[in-house]
Structure 1
Amino acid sequence: MFGLIRNIVIIFLLLSVVYAVLSFTARFKHRRLLEAEYETLSDFDKMAESEDDFVARGMKAYTRSYRPKLLLGVFIIPSLIGFGLIWLAQYG
């Protein structure tokens, strides 16, 4: 029983590392995309808003979108599969 609990803890730690790496890279890529998008703006638009404000507004919109929330599937899908296999092994 303790072996099962230890394995579950190890799996969740590994999934946490995977989630952190995916989250960091997704935010980094989106920030670079916003910076590139700012460079394509006209001079008039650049005068209206600084690059930092533009990127901050874009990252705030990204944080509220569904894309970062979909990364939680890193935890949900493997957990459901694991619990399903344990249930099948015990009751199946």
Structure 2
Amino acid sequence: MKKYSLAVPLLLTLMMVSPRSSFAQKMKVLSGNFDFLKGQQELNVVFDYTPMTFYNEKMSENDYLEKRNKDISANKGTNEAEN
């Protein structure tokens, strides 16, 4: 009986998880459609983060990187900041 002590909970877990994975890729389209994807083999997606800001000061990426390099240089040295 000890052989089955681990197998039973594992089997029950697999039975509960497997139906969830079969529904993982179903999508509900709220507006528009996906007709433009029909027949496509590849899709190139480009993410544009130019309007992104950091912290409450609304710092640009360059300002953030300069501030971060200064902080790292002050705490760990310039070699660490350059990496």
Q: Shared topology, TM-score over 0.5?
A: no
Higher helix share: 1
Relative to the length of structure 2, the TM-score reads 0.31
Higher alpha-carbon Rg? 2
Relative to the length of structure 1, the TM-score reads 0.29
Higher RCO structure (Cα 8 Å, ≥6 apart): 1
